[in-house]
């Protein structure tokens, strides 16, 4: 058997402690699968005395993670600090400069700086692995780079944030409001004290940008992702969706179009018959459509100590086996800079919820606006309320261009008979 593979870990939060526990518990199995023992030699975290449920005494402690990346006796530096800038970025850059392999779970860092970091790693002749950065324990990066390597990926989409999926699932099951369910998710540890990255779609967009690079061979373009979160989704929208045969999911979706690469993150109406509609709770799922394989589904837990630590250690085992692959499926120097497809060029069907004052002529005004903008209505649902209260009206449309829909919504919002801003959710046609 080869000599031990020595690793240093920066960041001992939930995932970092999980990695230590996994290596301690399954060390013999990892050695058998890697062809060499895997040994942690050094660790670094902000707080030394905190109880992490694992004995830290055998490891050399560094107060400064950047110093650890430079000085530790290690072939691999595992970065689990998080954040696009600051010490996380410095740890990775230092490790690369010292020609140490890097494993990271940091989607924000990769979404913002991944192309440059990948090029630096390849120039240094070291491995950069990041399975845990996207969809937790689902091996989607390995699947895209290896299992689907024979395919042109035509489209990918998925549920990439367990917090949002939990909130939307619980709202549907209980009929409770977004704010009430979010508070419960925070109490249960599914949502952070500041949940903005999750519920505003930013976390999903980080992951989508990385996946799109691997799928389509382009530079990572986080700034090119159109992003909407789920704050505006109401229990009423979820109820209407059910009546129309849909569920609401926060999806990340990417594909190549005639106008460039389209990357979108926003709530979607998906048919109850589509497989993604049944992905509930904190689970993630990614669908990839290839020209030869058709649609491939990958589903599992998207976060948590166990699944994410599993992905981190899988990357370590790959490096131990000397399984070297281009960082993003293609050599980083070969990644194309693709034009962005503007969201206004997107074509699809739409769900609209209007709060309408029950006055004569209101439907004629709305219909006239849709006629002018060449938007065709498919179905209308209306609810009755007490006199003098606005009435909820739901309209679904046939496929149209988003620019036309936005013009129509702007004009409808200006009508005196509309009591509050219209709400729009895109209807996503997916495989059955």
Active-site choice (107, 142, 207, 249): 207
Q: How confident is the model at residue 359, as a pLDDT? A: 80
**Average pLDDT for residues 210-230, to the nearest whole number?**
96
- Contact in structure between 222 and 265 (CB atoms under 8 Å): no
Q: What is the pLDDT of residue 385?
A: 65
User: Boundaries of CATH 3.30.360.10 in the chain?
Assistant: 147-299
The helix/strand/coil state of 75 is: coil
Q: Is the pLDDT of residue 431 over 70?
A: no
Taking residues 420-425, what's their average pLDDT? 95
- Global pTM value: 0.93
Going by pLDDT thresholds of 50, 70 and 90, the confidence category of residue 414 is: very high
* 112 included as an active-site residue: no
The pLDDT value recorded for residue 53 is: 81
The set of residues, in sequence order, having a beta carbon less than 8 Å from that of 285 and lying 6+ positions away, is 138, 158, 159, 275, 276, 279, 297, 298, 299
CA neighbor of 21 nearest in space, from 304, 233, 277, 211: 304
Return phi, psi of residue 9, to 5°.
Answer: -115, 125
**Which tokens is 29 given?**
């199995």
Does residue 303 surpass a pLDDT of 80?
Answer: no
Residue intervals of the chain classified under CATH 3.40.50.720 are 5-104
Task: Work out the average pLDDT over 304-325.
Answer: 92
- Pair type for strands 60-62 and 38-44: parallel
pLDDT at 251: 98
Distance from chain centroid for Cα 432: 22
pLDDT per position as a tens digit, 89-127: 999 999 999 999 999 999 999 999 999 999 999 999 999
Residue 178 is predicted with a pLDDT of 96
Alpha-carbon gap, residue 18 to 7, rounded angstroms? 15
Query: Please, where in the chain does CATH 3.30.70.260 lie?
Result: 346-427
Asked whether the predicted pLDDT for residue 273 surpasses 70, the reply is: yes
pLDDT (tens digit per residue) in 243-268: 999 999 999 999 999 889 999 999 99
In contact, 89 and 28? CB cutoff 8 Å: no
Per-residue pLDDT reduced to its tens digit, 316-339: 999 999 988 899 988 888 898 999
- Among 53-57, 366-370, 396-400, 425-429, where is mean pLDDT lowest? 53-57
Which tens digit of pLDDT belongs to each residue from 356-376? 987 888 889 999 999 999 999
**What is the C-alpha separation between 396 and 1, in angstroms, rounded?**
64
Q: What is the mean pLDDT of residues 160-165?
A: 94
Superfamily the domain 346-427 falls into:
ACT domain (3.30.70.260)
Q: How far apart are CA 79 and CA 220, in angstroms?
A: 20
| Superfamily holding 5-104 | NAD(P)-binding Rossmann-like Domain (3.40.50.720)
Residue 341's nearest CA partner among 253, 217, 281 is 253
Q: Whole-number mean pLDDT of the chain?
A: 93
What pLDDT, on the 0 to 100 scale, is given for residue 432? 47
Q: Which fold is adopted by the domain 147-299?
A: Dihydrodipicolinate Reductase; domain 2 (3.30.360)
């Amino acid at each position: 058997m080869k000599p031990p593979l020595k690793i240093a870990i920066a960041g001992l939060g939930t995932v970092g402690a999980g990695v230590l526990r996994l290596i301690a518990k399954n060390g013999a199995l990892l050695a058998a699968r890697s062809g060499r023992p895997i040994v942690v030699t050094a660790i670094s975290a902000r707080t030394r005395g905190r109880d992490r449920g694992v004995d830290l005494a055998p490891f050399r402690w560094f107060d400064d993670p950047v110093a650890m990346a430079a000085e530790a006796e290690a072939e691999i530096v595992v970065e689990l600090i998080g954040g696009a800038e600051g010490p996380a970025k410095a740890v990775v850059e230092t490790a690369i400069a010292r020609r140490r392999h890097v494993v990271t779970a940091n989607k924000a860092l990769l979404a913002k700086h991944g192309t440059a970091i990948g090029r630096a790693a390849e120039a240094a002749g070291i491995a950069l692995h990041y399975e845990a950065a996207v969809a937790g324990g689902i091996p989607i990066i390995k699947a895209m780079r290896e299992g689907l390597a024979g395919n042109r990926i035509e489209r990918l989409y998925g549920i990439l944030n367990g917090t949002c999926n939990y909130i939307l699932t619980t709202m549907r099951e209980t009929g409770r409001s977004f704010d009430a369910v979010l508070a419960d998710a925070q109490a249960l540890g599914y949502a952070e004290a500041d949940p903005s990255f999750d519920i505003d779609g930013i976390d999903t967009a980080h992951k989508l940008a990385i996946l799109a690079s691997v799928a389509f061979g382009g530079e990572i373009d986080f700034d090119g992702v159109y992003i909407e979160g789920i704050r505006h989704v109401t229990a009423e929208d979820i109820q209407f969706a059910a009546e129309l045969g849909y569920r609401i999911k926060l999806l990340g979706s990417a594909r190549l179009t005639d106008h460039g690469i389209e990357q979108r993150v926003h709530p979607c109406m998906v048919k109850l018959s589509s497989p993604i509609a049944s992905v509930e709770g904190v689970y993630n799922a990614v669908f990839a459509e290839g020209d030869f394989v058709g649609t491939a589904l990958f589903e599992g837990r998207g976060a948590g100590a166990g699944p994410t630590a599993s992905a981190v250690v899988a990357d370590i085992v790959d490096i131990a086996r000397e399984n070297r692959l281009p960082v993003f499926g293609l050599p980083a120097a070969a990644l194309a800079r693709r034009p962005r497809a503007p969201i206004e060029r997107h074509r699809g069907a739409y769900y609209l919820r209007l709060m309408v004052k029950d006055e004569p002529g209101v439907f004629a005004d709305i219909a006239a606006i849709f006629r002018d903008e060449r938007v065709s209505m498919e179905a209308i649902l209306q609810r009755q309320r007490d006199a003098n209260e606005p009435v909820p009206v739901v309209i679904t449309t046939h496929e149209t261009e988003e620019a036309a829909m936005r013009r129509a919504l702007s004009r409808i919002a200006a009508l005196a008979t509309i009591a509050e801003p219209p709400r729009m959710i895109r209807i996503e046609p997916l495989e059955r």
